[in-house]
C-alpha cells in the first residue's frame, strides 16, 4: 500500500461549553490491549468524563464498536445516559433506545467455526457481540490473513451483513447504520441539539462520524496517524486525548 504523507492537522481547541461531544473508546479514550477484555479505564478518565458531561449539560456520548453492555461493564461504576454501541447499531439516550437486530440463523455456526479457527492461532480472539462478530489478531499478527479470508468466505452466509475492517480486527456486522448516522440522530435530540458537534476517534469506522460533524460545521478529531482521513484536527494518542479532555474540566 502506498504510504500517505501525514496531512497537517492542528490540535483541537480545549472543550467548550457549547459542544456536543462524541467519543470513540478503544484507541481513542483508552489504549489498546492484546484482547478487548484486557483494556482498562484509568480512574481519572471516569472522573474527567463525568465532570465534562456535567459541564456540557449531558451532551457527551460514547460512540463505540463495543456493545452497550460491554461499554457499561468497561466504565462501571460510571454509566453515561447516552451511548451508541456496535458502531452505531444500538443506541440509548434520554429519549430513545434502539436495539441491535437479531442475528441471522447461520450466525451461531459461523461463530463456532471462527472459534475453531482461533484455536489454531493462539493469541487471536473471537468476540461475540450479539449481533456482530469481531475477529481480533492483535495478539497474533501472523493470523491476520487467515481471519480476513475466513470473514470473506463466510460473509455470504449472513444475509444483510458486511465486513467492518479495523485496527487488527475484522468484524461481521449488519450492513445498516454507522457511527455517523448515530451521531446525526443524537444531534436531533436534547441535550445535543443546537450544539457544535465534536467527534474524536482513531479507526476507519470513525470516518462516517467525521463526515457528519464536518458537514454540520463541527470539529473532527483523528487520534493517531492513520491515513487517509477526513478529520480536520489530530491528537497523537489516547493519552493526548485524555489530557485534552482534562483541559475542558479545568477550564
Ligand atoms: Mg477506536
Domain segments of the chain: what residues? 19-100+177-250, 107-174
Q: What pLDDT shows up at residue 116?
A: 98
Task: Say how many Å lie between the CA of residue 25 and the centre of ligand 1.
Answer: 5
Mean pLDDT by 10 residues, the chain (251 residues): 66 97 98 91 95 97 96 94 95 93 96 98 96 96 97 98 95 95 97 98 97 98 96 98 94 64
The CATH number of domain 19-100+177-250, selected from 3.40.50.1000, 1.10.260.40, 1.10.3720.10, 3.20.20.10 = 3.40.50.1000
Cell of 122: 493462539
Q: How far is the CA of 34 from the centre of ligand 1 (A)?
A: 14
What is the pLDDT, as a whole number, of residue 251? Answer: 64
pLDDT of 1 reads 44
- What is residue 187's predicted lDDT score, i.e. its pLDDT? 98
Q: Where in the sequence numbering do the catalytic residues fall?
A: 24
Q: What is the reported pLDDT for 177? A: 87
Residue 13 makes CB contacts below 8 A (sequence gap 6+) with 219
**Ligand 1 centre from 222 Cα, in Å?**
10
Question: At 32, phi and psi to the nearest 5?
Answer: -65, 150
Residue 250 has what pLDDT? 79
Rounded to two decimals, the pTM is: 0.93
Return the exposure string of 13-46: e unless at least 16 CB atoms fall within 10 Å of the residue's CB, then b.
Answer: eebeeebbbbbbbbbbbbebebebeebeeeeebe
Pairing outcome for strands 83-85 and 60-63: parallel
Fold of 107-174: Alpha-Beta Plaits (3.30.70)
Amino acid at each position: 500500500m502506498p504510504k500517505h504523507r501525514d496531512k497537517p492537522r492542528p490540535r483541537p481547541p480545549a472543550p467548550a461549553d457549547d459542544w456536543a461531544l462524541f467519543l470513540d473508546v478503544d484507541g481513542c479514550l483508552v489504549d489498546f490491549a492484546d484482547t478487548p477484555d484486557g483494556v482498562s479505564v484509568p480512574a481519572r478518565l471516569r472522573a474527567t468524563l463525568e465532570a465534562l458531561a456535567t459541564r456540557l449539560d449531558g451532551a457527551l456520548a460514547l460512540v463505540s464498536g463495543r456493545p452497550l453492555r460491554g461499554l457499561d461493564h468497561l466504565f462501571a461504576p460510571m454509566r453515561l445516559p447516552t451511548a451508541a454501541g456496535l458502531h452505531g447499531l444500538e443506541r440509548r439516550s434520554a429519549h430513545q433506545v434502539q436495539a441491535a437486530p437479531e442475528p441471522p440463523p447461520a450466525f451461531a455456526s459461523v461463530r463456532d467455526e471462527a472459534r475453531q479457527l482461533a484455536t489454531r492461532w493462539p493469541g487471536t480472539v473471537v468476540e461475540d457481540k450479539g449481533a456482530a462478530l469481531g475477529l481480533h489478531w492483535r495478539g497474533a499478527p501472523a493470523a491476520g490473513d487467515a481471519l480476513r479470508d475466513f470473514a470473506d468466505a463466510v460473509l455470504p452466509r449472513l444475509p444483510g451483513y458486511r465486513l467492518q475492517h479495523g485496527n487488527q480486527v475484522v468484524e461481521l456486522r449488519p450492513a445498516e447504520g454507522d457511527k455517523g448516522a448515530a451521531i446525526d440522530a443524537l444531534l436531533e435530540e436534547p441535550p445535543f441539539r443546537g450544539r457544535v458537534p465534536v467527534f474524536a476517534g482513531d479507526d476507519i469506522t470513525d470516518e462516517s462520524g467525521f463526515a457528519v460533524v464536518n458537514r454540520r460545521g463541527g470539529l473532527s478529531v483523528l487520534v493517531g496517524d492513520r491515513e487517509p482521513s477526513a478529520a480536520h484536527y489530530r491528537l497523537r494518542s489516547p493519552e493526548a486525548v485524555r489530557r485534552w479532555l482534562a483541559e475542558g474540566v479545568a477550564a
